Amino acid sequence: MRGVILAGGKGTRLFPLTAVINKHLAPVGSLPMIEYPLHTLTKMGIKEISVVTGGEHFSDIARYLGQLHPDINFSFHYQPEAGGIAQALALVKHVVGNEMIVVILGDNIFEDDFLQAAKNFENSSFGAMFFLKRVLNPGRFGVAEIDGVKIIGIEEKPKQPKTDLAVTGIYFFDSTVFDKISKLKPSWRGEYEITDANNEYIAEGKAGYYLVNGFWSDAGTMDSRKSCEEFVKKGLESNVLRSLSANVEIGKMLIESFGANFKP
């Protein structure tokens, strides 16, 4: 499977942290935000990753990831305007080909390990898998309705949610996702909604779901970033730092930065 990180957007809700840097390079704890979704992908054994971003700081993302993760084969794709998740995903079509993909939003932080879920998806007849989390405020998200082991629909940011199951910012897709995206029309928000493509998979009977048990949040607002910082300090930040130290030169720099507090 190939990984895709969607790291676009201006990050206005994190201003002034984002005044001069891409949102996904803003810190969550001691690390840039993008390190956490990247860690989610690498724990699945993924070494081929496409990154979609835009704005004047496009090259900053490429420079950062190339320097800190020389063992990963990255491709970088410029999104000229904010037109929704589906529009951003369409930009990697020529690189993906017929591969299955894991798509993760660049501001999403997860506790769960999805390695087994990825293996199950690759060996299933599903074309898509959605990762659902029970939340107190589902109307902020796409909201899923399920019936036993089946997912029967997703509604984008409903005013009266039918369930408390939010669709999180990680998705598994087969390559037919690009055909579905190509047929989409802009929503009332003027964006190409990934929910519309997701519902096509559901209508075909080709969608599965996974219930996320551990922590999940985006870090895209001041409040949610604070919540994410409190979580990563409980262990995830240290795990990511240790994974970086596998590179000898980077390990030396981490020891210089963190001193006795860094234990590789």
Q: Which helix (H) or strand (E) segment is 105 a member of?
A: strand 101-105
Task: Band the pLDDT of 151: cuts 50, 70, 90.
Answer: very high
Per-residue pLDDT, averaged over 158-182, amounts to 96
Nearest 5°: phi and psi at 184? -75, 150
Within a domain: 119 = yes
Count of structural domains, the chain: 1
Contact 179, 227 (CB under 8 A): no
Nearest one of 113, 34, 112 to 74, comparing CA atoms: 34
pLDDT at 174 over 90: yes
Q: Count CB neighbours of 113 within 10 A.
A: 12
Residue type, 177: V
Within a domain: 181 = yes
Residue type, 84: G
In the chain, % of residues over pLDDT 70: 98
CA distance 13 to 11: 5
CA distance 195 to 143: 10
Nearest 5°: phi and psi at 121? -65, -45
Contact 215, 234 (CB under 8 A): no
- Expressed as residue numbers, the domain containing 190 is 2-132+170-233
Task: Band the pLDDT of 58: cuts 50, 70, 90.
Answer: confident
Tokens linked to 101: 């993909």
Within a domain: 127 = yes
What distances in angstroms separate CA 181 from CA 31, 178, 233, one per listed residue? 33, 5, 38
Within a domain: 256 = no
Task: Band the pLDDT of 257: cuts 50, 70, 90.
Answer: confident
Return the residue matching tokens 């704005």: 55
Report the C-alpha dihedral over residues 153, 154, 159, 160, rounded to 10 degrees.
40
Please write the tens of the pLDDT for every residue from 11-24.
Answer: 778 887 777 788 89
Within a domain: 35 = yes
Please write the tens of the pLDDT for every residue from 236-255.
Answer: 999 999 898 778 888 888 88
* pLDDT value of position 264: 67
* pLDDT value of position 144: 97
What does pLDDT average to over the chain?
Answer: 92
* pLDDT value of position 149: 84
Within a domain: 59 = yes
For the entire predicted model, the pTM comes to: 0.94
Report the C-alpha dihedral over residues 127, 131, 134, 137, rounded to 10 degrees.
-90
Which CATH number goes with the domain that contains 227? 3.90.550.10
Please write the tens of the pLDDT for every residue from 101-136.
Answer: 999 999 999 999 999 999 999 999 999 999 999 999
Task: Band the pLDDT of 260: cuts 50, 70, 90.
Answer: low
Per-residue pLDDT, averaged over 204-228, amounts to 95
Within a domain: 162 = no
- For 182-232, the DSSP string reads HT----TTSS--HHHHHHHHHHTT-EEEEE--S-EEE--SHHHHHHHHHHH
